[in-house]
Amino acid sequence: MVITFSSLIVTNAQRLTEISFPPDTTIYVYPRPKPFSFITQIPATFAGAARISFKKESLKNWGIIAGSTAILLLIDQDMAHRVQQASDYIGLDRTRIYKEGLSFNIGKTNVDIYEPPGNLNTAIYSIGEGIPPLLLAGGLWGYGLAKKDYRAISTASQIVQATTAAGLMTQFLKRTTGRESPFRATKPGGAWRPFPRPSVYQNNVPMYDAFPSGHMGTLAATYVVITENYPEKRWIRPVGISIMSLVGLAMINNDVHWASDYPLAIGMGYAFGKATVKLNRFIKGEPMFKKKNKR
């Protein structure tokens, strides 16, 4: 059984939540997040993710990412066929279908806010889009305000911060690698057209935006932030991994992504998630925390 202890204190006119997870004696400290810190800390998040990614201990992880990507590249097309055959066998509609939802017009341009999924596969696929993590963050933020729980408020801010950073990096890499999405593939495994001109990319996005997967990067970043901040909630890990697996299969099933689009995306989500937590959660007594309180 994991027993948690938490207390709310006031230090230097700043509200803090302190929490520990016996038998571990480490005390984690959550200051009240500054307004819009999930935006202002983006540059530091990139710097932190770079330090995590390129330290010596990360060489093994890079090897796993490179090796798994290389293997999956060889079997991408066959894996897609097998997933789709299994889907057809059990009667799972793999067509991407959305119902009419919330939208508004800006001049002659229609902007969709939310489109409800029209079948099960689309619903699973939609979990990796930006709205579900934002809804989760909103729920934690509201709970934190109601209970004066700065761990919950900080976690909400961290979800937005980590997924924003991961999203920006993903978009940069998509525009760098230029891999075809499966439903627009002109050859098995999809063609690669690196460094497309911005106008060319924007006018035909599916021809260039498969690698890496933004959905998987968003889910991985969200997963890391939540599991790091709530280690006592042991059900989060299996549930999170299961959701990521189902979304991954759904994206192969509806021809949005290749399996090899996932390893790098997961690695990026991990790095941005870890960097975000480090910027917002402190260990009581550490120099970084002491320095922060002296400001």
How many Å apart are CA 239 and CA 294, to the nearest integer?
40
How many Å apart are CA 8 and CA 116, to the nearest integer?
40
44-91: per-residue pLDDT in tens?
A: 999 999 999 999 999 999 999 999 999 999 999 999 999 999 999 999
Cβ neighbours for 127, distance < 8 A, ≥ 6 positions apart? 219, 243, 246, 247
Give the type of residue at 220: A
How many Å apart are CA 117 and CA 213, to the nearest integer?
20
Residue among 211, 278, 172, 175 nearest 69 (CA): 211
- Structure pTM? 0.88
Residue 13: per-residue pLDDT: 43
How many Å apart are CA 39 and CA 160, to the nearest integer?
8
How many Å apart are CA 256 and CA 276, to the nearest integer?
28
DSSP annotation of 119:
S
How many Å apart are CA 4 and CA 23, to the nearest integer?
10
273-283: per-residue pLDDT in tens?
A: 999 999 999 98
In the chain, domain spans: 33-280
Tell me, rounded to whole angstroms, the distance of Cα 213 from its chain centroid. Answer: 10
Both tokens assigned to 43: 């540059």
Both tokens assigned to 50: 């770079």
Q: What is the mean pLDDT of the chain?
A: 89
CA distances from 141 to 35, 146, 162, 291, 292 (A): 13, 9, 15, 26, 23
Residue 104: per-residue pLDDT: 73
Residue 292: per-residue pLDDT: 44
Q: Is the pLDDT of residue 113 over 60?
A: yes
